[in-house]
């Protein structure tokens, strides 16, 4: 099993450009999450999904959109990138989303917006 | 508003000694806590957890202590090894979301 994979690993954008980050998991997990990690801020939840076709906002959703058309994939979109979105983005999944479930994280995507 | 806080950004410990990483929380509804470990250029990985019905959970060299009245938990690593050098996050779930602390970077000096 590959676990949780993220594509791409690195990306540099100019302000105003758009892009999509792809997260894929092969563990048949129901719940998937997108986080961003910034210095001194820890991991902050952007959006999450409790199942195929569903999405919900997390702590810092502004400027991002998500889609979960297939159970194994969770896409994070930036329609018009801003320098404030420079960050490391992590995707995670859990079997059922219960609080006691362990989250499995991908390796991260480092995004720089110039 | 940071619901889970780690007030020490970094910690250095000699190999073989004890490492103590601290975490405070503000939400009294939290009833489960997790610690994650993160190496550079990798995603966090689960380390150990504790339920609020316990005040201690042990797994090998790692022990987590929970003090509910103080809303404080700590992770003890004994003995510390160079391979333990990483960033450690505490986290607490509520509803469908997880709240993470800002992390403590541990360096174990050989």
Interface of B with A (CB under 8 A): 2, 4, 6, 9, 31-32, 34, 36, 41-46, 49, 51, 89, 91, 93-94, 96-98, 100-103
* Tokens describing residue B42: 């990798």
* Residues B73/B53, Cβ–Cβ less than 8 Å: no
Please, which pLDDT band fits residue A17 given cuts at 50, 70 and 90? Answer: very high
Strands A87-94, A31-38: pairing is antiparallel
Average pLDDT over residues A38-52: 91
How many whole angstroms separate alpha carbon A84 and alpha carbon A87?
8
Give the residue from A30, A5, A26 showing the smallest Cα distance to A90.
Answer: A5
Average pLDDT over residues A46-71: 95
Strands B45-51, B32-38: pairing is antiparallel
Average pLDDT over residues A23-41: 93
Residue A72: the pLDDT is 96
Asked if the peptide bond before residue B79 counts as cis, ω within 30 degrees of 0, the response is yes
The answer to whether residue A21 scores a pLDDT higher than 90 is: yes
* Residues B102/B2, Cβ–Cβ less than 8 Å: yes
Q: Which of 91-110 (A) contact B at CB < 8 A? A: 92, 97, 99-100, 102-108
Average pLDDT over residues A53-74: 95
């Amino acid at each position: 099993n590959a676990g949780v994979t993220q594509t791409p690993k690195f990306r540099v954008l100019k302000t105003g450009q758009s892009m999509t980050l792809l997260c894929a998991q092969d563990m048949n997990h129901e719940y998937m999450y997108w986080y961003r990690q910034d210095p001194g801020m820890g991991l902050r939840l952007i959006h999450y999904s409790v199942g195929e076709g569903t999405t919900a906002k997390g702590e810092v959703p502004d400027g991002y959109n998500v889609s979960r058309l297939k159970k194994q994939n969770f896409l994070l979109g930036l329609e018009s990138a801003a320098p404030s979105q420079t960050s490391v983005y992590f995707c995670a999944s859990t079997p059922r989303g219960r609080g006691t479930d362990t989250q499995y994280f991908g390796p991260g995507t480092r995004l720089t917006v110039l | 508003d940071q619901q889970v806080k780690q007030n020490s950004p970094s910690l250095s410990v000699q190999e073989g000694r004890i490492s103590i990483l601290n975490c405070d929380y503000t939400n009294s509804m939290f009833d489960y806590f997790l610690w994650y470990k993160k190496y550079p250029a990798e995603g966090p990985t689960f380390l150990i957890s504790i339920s609020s019905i316990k005040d201690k959970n042990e797994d090998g060299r790692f022990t987590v202590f929970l003090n509910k009245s103080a809303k404080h938990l700590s992770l003890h690593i004994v003995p510390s090894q160079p391979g333990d050098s990483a960033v450690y996050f505490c986290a607490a779930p509520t509803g469908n979301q997880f709240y993470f602390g800002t992390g403590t970077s541990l360096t174990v000096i050989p």
